[in-house]
Structure 1
């Protein structure tokens, strides 16, 4: 049996996080299966009872996919409760190129990505700038407060 990975992010506003994380990851909103205008239409055709589909569920994409097909699908699951504590797991967006790349180049790449994501709705929580250790990273939060790093 093959195992695949889907990342699920609990949230209050799937539409907002679909837009943000599409920008952050270079992903695209996942289109509904062939023959269906929306995910809701697909779920209804599959027999999901109406009472299990909250208002607006599936009317817009609630998941994103890697257009190259390499990364995992990300599903934004609507939940009633707000985020309450620090994440116990987070994403690292590795844009710097690794330690083989000079620190000044990595820093520029990270900074450019952070600026783009802040413009898209992220907030900066902490900058780790340790040139003696060859390290530069930024801890951010998405529009709903989920922490992630750009390194």
Structure 2
């Protein structure tokens, strides 16, 4: 039986979207860059982690990893898959996520539709 391992986001700038999601989610962080990884990037002609075409965000314990990968094409249309987040105080969380770069798209009776800095949609519901 298959298990969920990663959720992958196509991005124009993986590092900035990865930082958004690492800050947005409890107990997630951008995977650290050790000297071997920085050397690998340099061997590909990439001078800094900021320009890394694939950035990993890992959970502290359990849950899927989030990968952010560079793609040449822009986003077109509505996401076919999205994340649902929960919060005890949705309004406070909306303010926090907005300060990180999210935008509110729509408000519904039972959830709020938001978008991350690259327009990937996600929902927020009360826990």
Specify whether residues 71 and 81 from structure 1 end up closer, same or farther in structure 2 by C-alpha distance, changes over 3 A only.
same
**Structure 2 alignment gaps of length 5 or more:** none
Specify whether residues 43 and 24 from structure 1 end up closer, same or farther in structure 2 by C-alpha distance, changes over 3 A only.
same
Higher strand content, 1 or 2? 2
Higher-Rg structure is 1
Structure 1, residues 58-82: CA drift from partner, whole Å, max 9, x if none? Answer: 7257111111x21111010011111
Q: Contact 1:18–1:64 at 8 Å: present in 2 too?
A: yes
Correspondence 1:59 to 2:49: yes
- Scaled by the length of structure 2, the TM-score of the pair is 0.82
3-state DSSP class of the match of 1:94? strand
Q: Which residue among 41, 66, 77 is the counterpart of 1:85?
A: 77
Task: State the partner residue of 1:75.
Answer: 67
Between Structure 1 and Structure 2, how many residues are aligned? 121
Q: Contact 1:6–1:73 at 8 Å: present in 2 too?
A: yes
Q: How far is 1:10 from its partner?
A: 0.3
Q: Contact 2:82–2:122 at 8 Å: present in 1 too?
A: yes
Q: How far is 1:144 from its partner?
A: 0.4
Specify whether residues 74 and 112 from structure 1 end up closer, same or farther in structure 2 by C-alpha distance, changes over 3 A only.
same
**Structure 1 alignment gaps of length 5 or more:** 45-49, 97-108, 130-135
- Scaled by the length of structure 1, the TM-score of the pair is 0.70
Structure 1 ranges of 4+ moved more than 3 A = 1-4, 53-56
